[in-house]
Copies of this chain bind each other. A is one copy, B any other.
Amino acid sequence: MKWERKDLLGIKDLSGEEISLILDTAESFLEVSTRDIKKVPTLRGKTIINFFVEASTRTRTSFEIAGKRLSADTINISASTSSLVKGETLADTARNLEAMNPDVIVIRHSCAGAPHMLARLVRQSIINAGDGAHEHPTQALLDMMTIRSRKGTLSGLNVTIVGDIAHSRVARSNIYGLNKMGAHLTVAGPATMMPRDIRELGVKVSFRLEEALQDADVVMMLRIQTEREQRSVFPSLREYSAFYCLNGDNIQRARPDVLVMHPGPVNRGVEISPEIADGANSVILEQVTNGVAVRMALLYLLTGAIE
Most chain B CB inside 10 Å of its own CB: which residue of A44, A61, A97, A102:
A61
Partner pick for A292 among B33, B73, B77, B100, CB 8 A cutoff: B100
A18-46 at interface with B (beta carbon < 8 Å): 33-39, 44-46
Contacts of A77 in B (CB 8 A): 57, 61
Complex: A89 Cα to B278 Cα, angstroms: 13
Scan A56-70; emit 1 where CB is below 8 A from any B CB, else 0: 111011101100110
Contact segment of A153-161, A178-186, A259-267: A259-267
Interface size on A (CB < 8 Å)?
59
Complex: A286 Cα to B285 Cα, angstroms: 43
Q: Min CB distance, A168 to chain B, in Å?
A: 15
Docked-complex contact A92 and B33, CB < 8 angstroms: no
Docked-complex contact A266 and B88, CB < 8 angstroms: yes
Partner pick for A61 among B60, B65, B75, B88, CB 8 A cutoff: B75
Partner pick for A288 among B36, B86, B100, B103, CB 8 A cutoff: B100
A241-265 at interface with B (beta carbon < 8 Å): 264-265
Docked-complex contact B78 and A264, CB < 8 angstroms: no
Docked-complex contact A73 and B82, CB < 8 angstroms: no
Docked-complex contact B73 and A57, CB < 8 angstroms: no
Decide yes or no whether A96 CB sits under 8 A from chain B: yes
Q: Min CB distance, A142 to chain B, in Å?
A: 11
Complex: A57 Cα to B68 Cα, angstroms: 21
Q: Min CB distance, A277 to chain B, in Å?
A: 8
Docked-complex contact B83 and A57, CB < 8 angstroms: yes
A86-107 at interface with B (beta carbon < 8 Å): 86-89, 92-93, 95-103
Decide yes or no whether A47 CB sits under 8 A from chain B: yes
Decide yes or no whether A5 CB sits under 8 A from chain B: no
Docked-complex contact A45 and B55, CB < 8 angstroms: no
Which residue in chain B gives the minimum CB-CB distance to A98?
B285
A288-307 at interface with B (beta carbon < 8 Å): 288-289, 291-292
Docked-complex contact A264 and B38, CB < 8 angstroms: no
Partner pick for A37 among B44, B57, B226, B288, CB 8 A cutoff: B44
**A–B complex contacts, Cβ < 8 Å, 29 sampled:** A33-B100, A33-B101, A34-B101, A37-B44, A37-B46, A38-B101, A39-B45, A45-B69, A47-B69, A55-B81, A57-B81, A57-B82, A58-B96, A61-B97, A61-B100, A62-B100, A64-B75, A65-B73, A65-B75, A68-B75, A83-B265, A86-B265, A88-B264, A93-B265, A96-B288, A99-B286, A99-B289, A100-B288, A100-B291
